[in-house]
Amino acid sequence: MPTEIQAAVCRTVGEPLEIESVELDDPAPDEVRVGVVGSGLCHSDLHVIDGSLPAPLPVVLGHEVAGVVLEVGSQIQGIDVGDHVVAGISAHCGSCRCCAAGKTWLCERRFSPGLRSETQPKIRAGDATIGGIGGLSGFAEQMVLHRSAAVPIDPEMPLDRAALIGCAVVTGVGTVINAARVRPGETCAVIGCGGVGLNVVQGARLAGAERIIAVDLQASKLELAGRFGATDFVNAGGGDPVEAVLGLTGGRGVDHAFEVIGLKSTSEQALSMASDGGAAYLIGVLPPGLALEVPGTEFVLGNKTLCGVRMGSSNMASDFPYFVELYQQGRLLIDELVAERITLAQVNEGYDKMRIGDQARSVITFDPPN
């Protein structure tokens, strides 16, 4: 029996999400149904709403989610009704070439990791079907997802903050520890200090970086970056940020430069900020079809690396509980990322605030299911 739920549906690019009653399918044998408690607003979903990241519509967005398991499919082991879970978009099959190599975030069947293929809908409105994003649909009271995308966590962890582990934290901290493997004493620059970039900053702090240079256009974001561990601050509106970073590093540049916005200009800045032997990591999602320009001679003779990073190169099942533990020890800041808690009906206002850009995350919260 399908369940009737409230969801925010994206029907037309550039238009506000519409709050509607929709029908959610029962979980397939390898899926779970989760009552959403916290659902963060990530910029990747705003790319879909604004059309810079095309996706089939209509769609229920929301991929930074934590909640309580309400129902498990008939084949599910190791997860029970009542468990608290953080959801992530890296659903995986466990047996393809990438999964076998331990790179579950690159699973070759990540869009259809289990019994249900991507094209088989889970959400309906009347006769029409509605898609999700990366196997999730967290701007709703409940969602159905593949077992591999739901990671059980300590029930003591507050779910409105646990939600942010599912994208902002894993992408930001994960990139630093799994992809860049920043070592104590190295230098970092972080271009774009939003929800994800602030987590790059704190990942670099956890890794023991010597200098963490925060770059943003907003003074409020630079101030927040200081709380997350940044040691130096560059307002990109006040001149060329590449020159500023070179100036702060004796002309050398940084060992690791992270782009966390999704623009051509700042992606190229990241490469120019990287020192000889250093690397630039592109986290921000660039519009499809957009090509970057790489200065050939500098790149080759400077022995530089350019690296794209998907979902923090993270195996969720091991990293999510690790982030919960760090939060509980007071070493990972998440409370400070939550600028406001909002209702599902306020999702469009939350995204208007992201377009302005002066605060970190808005998080939709629902009462925990009984």
Ligand X SMILES: NC(=O)c1ccc[n+]([C@@H]2O[C@H](COP(=O)([O-])OP(=O)(O)OC[C@H]3O[C@@H](n4cnc5c(N)ncnc54)[C@H](O)[C@@H]3O)[C@@H](O)[C@H]2O)c1
> At CA 275, angle to CA 272 and CA 278, rounded to 5?
105
Find out whether 67 and 179 touch, Cβ atoms under 8 Å: no
Of the candidates 70, 206, 217, 292, which one interacts with ligand X according to CB under 6 A? 217
> Using the rule CB under 6 A, is 262 a contact of ligand X?
yes
Residue 99 binding target from ligand X, Zn ion, none, CB below 5 to 8 Å by type: Zn ion
Q: At what angle do helices 219-228 and 195-207 cross, to 10 degrees?
A: 30
Choice between 211 and 221, CB closer to ligand X = 221
> Using the rule CB under 6 A, is 192 a contact of ligand X?
yes
Cβ neighbours for 223, distance < 8 A, ≥ 6 positions apart: none
Tokens 């974001």 correspond to what residue?
Answer: 221
Distance CA 331, CA 322 (A): 11
Choice between 79 and 96, CB closer to Zn ion = 96
Distance CA 131, CA 86 (A): 20
Residue 116 binding target from Zn ion, ligand X, none, CB below 5 to 8 Å by type: none
User: Shortest approach of Zn ion to residue 34 CB, angstroms?
Assistant: 17
- Choose the stretch contacting ligand X; rule: CB under 6 A; options: 75-83, 118-126, 143-151, 215-223: 215-223
User: Shortest approach of ligand X to residue 294 CB, angstroms?
Assistant: 19
Q: Which helix (H) or strand (E) is 146 found in, with range?
A: strand 142-146
- List C-alpha distances in Å: 130 to 29, 146, 343, 345: 21, 17, 21, 19
- Choose the stretch contacting ligand X; rule: CB under 6 A; options: 93-101, 118-126, 142-150, 278-286: 278-286
Choice between 163 and 254, CB closer to Zn ion = 163
Choice between 234 and 333, CB closer to Zn ion = 333
Of the candidates 43, 92, 161, 211, which one interacts with ligand X according to CB under 6 A? 43
> Using the rule CB under 6 A, is 148 a contact of ligand X?
no
- Choose the stretch contacting ligand X; rule: CB under 6 A; options: 119-127, 139-147, 212-220, 329-337: 212-220
Among 84, 85, 103, which residue's Cα sits nearest to residue 93?
Answer: 103
**Where do the H-state alpha helices sit in 232-263?**
241-248
> Using the rule CB under 6 A, is 147 a contact of ligand X?
no
> Using the rule CB under 6 A, is 226 a contact of ligand X?
no
- Choose the stretch contacting Zn ion; rule: CB under 5 A; options: 51-59, 85-93, 273-281, 337-345: 85-93
Cβ neighbours for 186, distance < 8 A, ≥ 6 positions apart: 207, 209, 210, 255, 256
Residue 241 structure tokens? 């940020």
Choice between 269 and 275, CB closer to ligand X = 269
For ligand X, the binding residues (CB under 6 A) are: 42-44, 47, 167, 171, 191-197, 215-218, 221, 236, 260-263, 266, 283-285, 309-311, 354, 357
